[in-house]
Amino acid sequence: MKILDVLQKEAIISDLKAQDKKGILEELVAPIARITGVNHKDLVRVLMDREQLGSTGIGGGIGIPHGKLKQLESLALGFGLSRKGVDFESINMIYMSSIWGNVRWFKSRDLSQSTRKILRSTLS
C-alpha cells in the first residue's frame, strides 16, 4: 500500500494555523472527519490518547500522530505543514496523522517517500 494512494488531496493542509499540539490535531482531523463521516471529537480523542503514551514526534521536524479507531474500516490519513512551527514536544513543522480501523500495516518506507513527495509539491 502506498500512502499517496490513501491520502486524499482534501486532507492536505499546506499552512496549519494552530499554535499547540491539540490545536494541530484538531486542524489535521477536520478534513478526515468530513471524508470518513467519523465524529471529529472521536478522532482528536484517539490521537490525544496516543500522545499521552509518548510523543509521536520522530525528529527532523516531523510528527506522525496516529491511533486506532474501530469505527473506521480503512486507513485515513491527513497531512499538514506548520510554516511557523509548533511545540509538539520538541518536534515541529510537518505533521501526518493516521487513523485506522481494520488495517494491519503499512510500510514506513512508503511513508518517508510519500512525505518527501508531498513536501516537494506543497513547498513549490
CATH number at residue 83: 3.40.930.10
Which residues are CB-contacts of 97 (< 8 A; sequence separation ≥ 6)? 25, 28, 29, 32, 47, 64, 65, 66, 77, 78, 79, 80
Confidence (pLDDT) at 57? 73
Q: Does the pTM of the predicted model rise above 0.85?
A: no
Strand partners, 64: none
Where in the sequence is the domain holding 42, given as residue range(s)? 3-123
What is the pLDDT confidence band of residue 107, given thresholds at 50, 70 and 90? very low
Catalytic residues: 66
Domain count along the chain: 1
